[in-house]
C-alpha cells in the first residue's frame, strides 16, 4: 500500500472505507516495545527501500518508532536478522550474504575460500 510519504510499503495499512479513518504500521505494531507510530514516521522510514531491494524470505525486520527532541523529528529505527544464518544483518538492503551467493561460480567471496 502507498504510504503518506508516497512509497510502497508492505507493512503500511490504511482503511478509509465507509467513513473509517484507520492508519497503522503493522511492522511497528508487532515489534515488542515498538513505540507509538504516526503517519509522520513514514517520511523518514527505510522499510520501503529495504523491501524493494531485498525480498529474501529469511530476512526478519523489526522497527521502533522514535521521536527526537521535543517530538519534532520522527524516525524509525530498523533492525534485521537472518533466520538462516542466525546473525544480525548490518545492511538489510543487501542481506547477510549467505542466502544469495553469487550466480557466477568464478566469483568467490572470502567465506568460500
The 10s digit of each residue's pLDDT in 28-76 is 999 999 999 999 999 989 999 999 999 899 999 999 999 888 778 889 9
Instruction: Quote the CA–CA distance of 63 and 92 in Å, as a whole number.
Output: 12
pLDDT score recorded for residue 58? 93
Q: Whole-model pTM above 0.75? A: yes
Residues contacting 10, CB < 8 A, separation 6+:
51
Residues contacting 49, CB < 8 A, separation 6+:
7, 93
Instruction: Give the total number of structural domains in the chain.
Output: 1
Containing domain of residue 61, as a range?
12-89
State mean pLDDT over 86-112: 74
- For residue 96, being part of any structural domain is answered with no
Amino acid at each position: 500500500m502507498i504510504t503518506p510519504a508516497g512509497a510502497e510499503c508492505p507493512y503500511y495499512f490504511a482503511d478509509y472505507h465507509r467513513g473509517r479513518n484507520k492508519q497503522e504500521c503493522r511492522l511497528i505494531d508487532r515489534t515488542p516495545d515498538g513505540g507509538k507510530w504516526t503517519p509522520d514516521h513514514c517520511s523518514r522510514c527505510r522499510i520501503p527501500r529495504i523491501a524493494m531491494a531485498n525480498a529474501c524470505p529469511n530476512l526478519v525486520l523489526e522497527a521502533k518508532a522514535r521521536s527526537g527532541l521535543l517530538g519534532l523529528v520522527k524516525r524509525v529505527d530498523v533492525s534485521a536478522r537472518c533466520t538462516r544464518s542466525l546473525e544480525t544483518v548490518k545492511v538489510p538492503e543487501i542481506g547477510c550474504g549467505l542466502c544469495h551467493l553469487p550466480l557466477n561460480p568464478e566469483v568467490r567471496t572470502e567465506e568460500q575460500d
